Structure 1
């Protein structure tokens, strides 16, 4: 898509009349695109609303314009309460433009709403209005915002002349939007009066409080809107004052493109002359033309859209002095932004705790990154128009202002839906940058550089600049699971150092000293401050950033069922907590297999569990007789081809080469071959693709774990060290397996989320997936939602209720 887009830009630039002045628009957009690219985030949640004691499971998708973002490697997600306080915060790594996290809500939670905010460090360089923020209802039994207010606040109506201004003597379209005090849309109707109080026209909202009317303002007049709010009280508001000079811009959709018109007053000789029409999408020039209003007061033209992708087009009109005079945004929907994901039920269980198997097929052969949520439809019903990956990435992430039920605008290709979407365009602004600023050379100030996963950074004090010349630190990164990685950290003359691109979970120890520092003379003299690069605090959260709270559960019986399930869940957790605190009580647990125990002891993060094979060397006679890890694996994994030539080896799997790890640190063939089998405790082979590897792991991965022992840190004894927190360890979604009897199954099953998988990776060799889960004790219908993105930047969403 993006390649076609760039070719189109070139063709348009050649076809349009481009002058020296107009070329500056193109160069500015190129600078914005290359030096100030914009990122956007969508978050899929497992449910639309939550109860105290539940877990919020989420998957974040990160894009830049129409492609997967390669700018940031970390996403920050935060839970914020009504006071604007950050109550929980997670830093998660981005893999194939996706990142997963979870938040456990306390059983004592009293808030009726929480806000989820997600962003990258790079996004903080720009307008905070474009950070991802979503309100999350907490089902306490009473709705937030319904408390009796001390003072009754009236409805609000805002007016938006098309193009920006009303000009006396020229008829133009005036759009309006009516909302209640919470910011939610309300139906409205009223009259427009002149300064004498005479009624000129009536207006009425057509969709979600929005509508339009035509008005031809007269010189010296001021216009007032009069309407009744939902309390029945009459309200008044003045319309924006008309201007005597200026340009009117109007635009409509045509089959061949966007037809726009420019108008000036017939008697405004000073407004005659040349104007420039500039249209851009995602900081890419898509149209540029010179318009002459000298001979005619009205000019009409068409912006071709045949080769443009789906998204928002921003049209701006400039005079010869490059001053912006009018602006309009339009939405182009080419139905080219998605790929189809098929869902079929292979095994359908209708009884309590019955087994279900869902089959998913992705027709695309390129890499796809998806997530799936399977919930009880009785407590998480389908909500009309809820925000989804289509509406967030293509619409709401690119405009300022709240959009109600954004998913509605992608629900149909009907003309009425297109007309309603244009009302959104007329009543919301596109302001990722201001033309006035960039034309004057005022570009964003970059205070936050893009992050390359976890970076070690710090300063060295106590040494002179001479002593710091050509210095470096030698270090060993030691993980809790026994993994180690040698580090070489260059040090600048100012004593600063950075080492980017690290990837580990939990807290690690970094042992260090200066390279070739005999008797640690310099190391002992220096004061070394070492830390990670993660943001220690997110930006402030103001009330202006809080989106309106939408309760998806309108049916009281559904709400009651949800609250009853929540209370049972809280009672079970409290009962478990009391049992765990009792002394001398023997709790019988499900017996874990040897593989499960080893996996729990040795692996972490994206290496735990997984889609593949696990080999335990203890008690395996073939392990004792194998020369190396790779000779041991030969013939054990279908499709994995291993050819060994002395100390060298060649590996291939499904057209790619597996990524190699030793104790979860990325390694190479030589290190794997030099690891004695007597030191190996476990080997995990992950089927392609393995998203824990760079580039998505198209060839899968082989992870070797060496035996743990008391001598693992002998080679770092006596060295100074720093404790450096890594990523928060992933919390694994628990789903009971009722096919095997267990004492744990005695409790009533009131789960509302039956299955959650945030990372489903597919490619040309792995296009079909099966998901097995079991009903709870209260489910009558299940709701399945899959969202995702492919390597070309296309999106998918599939929803079914069974």
Structure 2
């Protein structure tokens, strides 16, 4: 009988029992309680370096629909995470639309706000592709494994002709893979062996069979319990070979060899309890002295959460518990090392205390399925923590979710962190039943952690990151033609004029070699940058110099091929759903052709709508979606005598906003709101106080003061924000007369979802409405004073069932998803 050994007294773990989950996410390892021997690897320092210098990002896209018709728009919202929190690393993200061969058809470059961003792809009216793909990434993600990039198949509802072939149907191939727990079979040690049965595209199949030795004697039997997966136990003997005999789905006999067992080593067995991961270590005979003492190390999202030193010199078996009570939901990687720091066994476990989400309540405040009728949905969040949501309303009979879907929960917590394809990942978060937890553990046993390899860390092989995170659009350059003495202590004055006519003034110090950098720019389409040397009387220096400009936007498309298995795994929508969509698309195309033929007649129709207020006109002229329809106070300065006679912006605002404290004047003015300093924006570009205070009030068109929190600011805007908009028109041309300029490409032009209002615009009520997406809003923001949101939309001509989907995250990194059908 084997004697159970004890851990010697230098086990290390962090006590999270009294730590709030939000604090844990920020400070997963607050201290280290032991020191390893000089020969042991410093696991904590390796993980600390990995997490500090090479934090990794992952992206999830929420689409308005699951399939699209030709001529429609693919609307989507990107959520970007790093570890268990919304990412603060990247300020730009890229999205590409690809065909089945991997050719890039369209690309969008978008700013990241509140760790998220939104964009759209317009599909042509005529298409041959029945499937497209959307790939999304940040520049920082390109420094790591390309499999981290988000890729999703997008079905296009078109009728494809079936081409007959005389070669007949290609014979299907089936695979059975085996995964010994910990990584290896060890002779003489009992081991669990997980298995996964799939077709050649990775789709699961049912399987059952027997494990036999070389003599044909039965060792164990096995049968899949969920999506082709299951496990059995066996103890391999030295000198024996094993194989599985089984039948594939068509009844053909198959044989698959098991992995060869090692003559000696150590095994790692894991089991979960409600508040801990129990591990058991076995050491086989024939191992050298490096197995006398072994290290157990557990990490979650590159954060060390447990390490212990186990004594196997006296007895060949020991066990222990890794506390998980206060861990956030996610994949825990447990690795067993020899005393010399060599990893010999590894297993991943999903810890799930059902604390990864927050509840969102969704109801219909006004429901009317009549033609073009008004509807209102009501969204409630229970907490005061700021939340960032996206909402889609579609025709439920045309937009049917796929059977193997991936949503914000399953992607961020599961599929983005493990190797291999997971079929129907949303199933594993559908309830807290024990059977689902057991099935999820089968996924853990048949897949591996993919974010890093201990072998690489121990060997000092760190990721080779050539592209640094972007600080939005950064314009850089070099001045040529001036000497160092002429450029000493000089600044470059810039006036940036945007496509919509807004402007921004900047001063940038020159480096000794004439280099300069203008970071943090957010603008769309193109902008003109006018420039000259500061205090350059008669433009003496400016006329002598030339400037080379560049920006940090990635210009080249990715040359990464699509995963051939992902292309083959594509599941077409139900044929009835496709037929319904095609009928709607055909009607829309016919209507478009009719409108084009009768455009002359239609152009003579006078369309009148409800007169917009001055504020609505100013919002439309000056602001983007992030800076409107929030919790703000707006000041229009045109007819305000206090503004006309004001000295500067902050002096004008004194005493006008409850809670906003302003002291001092000019560039020395200070602000305070809720214990912090509000963020400042000029024409929606974040600036310092001196940039705001140098504006002449006669040049100010509008001021918006946003109550805390303001989600458009870096870091969440916990102290609110002040946005100043300068006037457009003649004043702009006066400022830039005689200055050199260069056109600079910016982010992809914005698209805003069109939602008709049939109550205020009666003339369009007679026009056909074939929209299949009735409402799309990528930025629905809630907070302390905005816990209930009402969203209004109008039905089309035919929909009788609405499918409403809400997804999102809060500032603590918890996610939400709710889907309802109203009829």
TM-score of the two chains, using structure 1 as the length reference: 0.90
Per-residue displacement from partner, 1:521-540 (whole Å, max 9, x unpaired)?
A: 65455442212211112432
Give 2:44's aligned residue. Answer: 26
The alignment status of 1:77 with 2:95, answered yes or no, reads yes
Q: Distance in 2 between matches of 1:7 and 1:498?
A: 34
Other structure's SS at 1:156 match: strand
Give 1:98's aligned residue. Answer: 116
Residue 579 and residue 672 in structure 1: after superposition, are their counterparts in 2 closer, same or farther (change >3 A)? farther
**Contact 1:48–1:552 (CA<8 Å) still a contact in 2?**
no
Q: Distance in 1 between matches of 2:162 and 2:711?
A: 40
Give 2:4's aligned residue. Answer: none
- Identify the range of structure 1 (489-498 vs 775-784) with the bigger mean alpha-carbon deviation: 489-498
Give 2:475's aligned residue. Answer: 456
Q: Which runs of structure 2 are paired with 1:99-248 in the superposition (5 Å)?
A: 99-141=117-159, 151-248=170-267
Residue 22 and residue 525 in structure 1: after superposition, are their counterparts in 2 closer, same or farther (change >3 A)? same
**Contact 1:137–1:549 (CA<8 Å) still a contact in 2?**
no
Per-residue displacement from partner, 1:225-253 (whole Å, max 9, x unpaired)?
A: 33333444444332222221222211111
The CA deviation at 1:317 is 0.9
Give 2:392's aligned residue. Answer: 373
Residue 673 and residue 722 in structure 1: after superposition, are their counterparts in 2 closer, same or farther (change >3 A)? closer
Q: Distance in 1 between matches of 2:607 and 2:466?
A: 52
Residue 522 and residue 677 in structure 1: after superposition, are their counterparts in 2 closer, same or farther (change >3 A)? closer
TM-score of the two chains, using structure 2 as the length reference: 0.88
The alignment status of 1:44 with 2:62, answered yes or no, reads yes
Give 2:815's aligned residue. Answer: 795
The alignment status of 1:323 with 2:337, answered yes or no, reads no
Q: Which runs of structure 2 are paired with 1:388-787 in the superposition (5 Å)?
A: 388-461=407-480, 472-493=491-512, 495-517=514-536, 520=539, 523-544=542-563, 547=566, 555-579=574-598, 585-586=603-604, 588-591=606-609, 593=612, 595=614, 596-604=616-624, 606-607=626-627, 627=646, 659-666=679-686, 679-681=699-701, 689-698=709-718, 703-787=723-807
What is the number of equivalent residue pairs in this alignment?
797
Q: Distance in 2 between matches of 1:50 and 1:249?
A: 48
Point out where structure 2 has 5 or more consecutive residues left out of the alignment: 1-20
Point out where structure 1 has 5 or more consecutive residues left out of the alignment: none
The CA deviation at 1:728 is 2.1
- Identify the range of structure 1 (375-384 vs 92-101) with the bigger mean alpha-carbon deviation: 375-384
The CA deviation at 1:218 is 2.8
Q: Distance in 2 between matches of 1:217 and 1:646?
A: 82
**Contact 2:336–2:346 (CA<8 Å) still a contact in 1?**
yes
Residue 125 and residue 711 in structure 1: after superposition, are their counterparts in 2 closer, same or farther (change >3 A)? same
The CA deviation at 1:25 is 0.8
Residue 765 and residue 649 in structure 1: after superposition, are their counterparts in 2 closer, same or farther (change >3 A)? farther
Q: Distance in 2 between matches of 1:296 and 1:668?
A: 66
**Contact 1:113–1:144 (CA<8 Å) still a contact in 2?**
no
The CA deviation at 1:505 is 2.1
RMSD, aligned CA? 3.5
**Contact 2:243–2:256 (CA<8 Å) still a contact in 1?**
yes
Q: Distance in 2 between matches of 1:279 and 1:635?
A: 55
The alignment status of 1:337 with 2:359, answered yes or no, reads no
The CA deviation at 1:31 is 1.0
Other structure's SS at 1:395 match: helix
- Correspondence for 2:105 among 87, 102, 117: 87
The CA deviation at 1:383 is 4.8
The CA deviation at 1:402 is 1.3
Other structure's SS at 2:578 match: helix
Residue 462 and residue 642 in structure 1: after superposition, are their counterparts in 2 closer, same or farther (change >3 A)? closer
Other structure's SS at 1:425 match: helix
Other structure's SS at 2:379 match: strand
Other structure's SS at 1:255 match: coil
Other structure's SS at 1:543 match: coil
- Correspondence for 1:254 among 273, 284, 289: 273
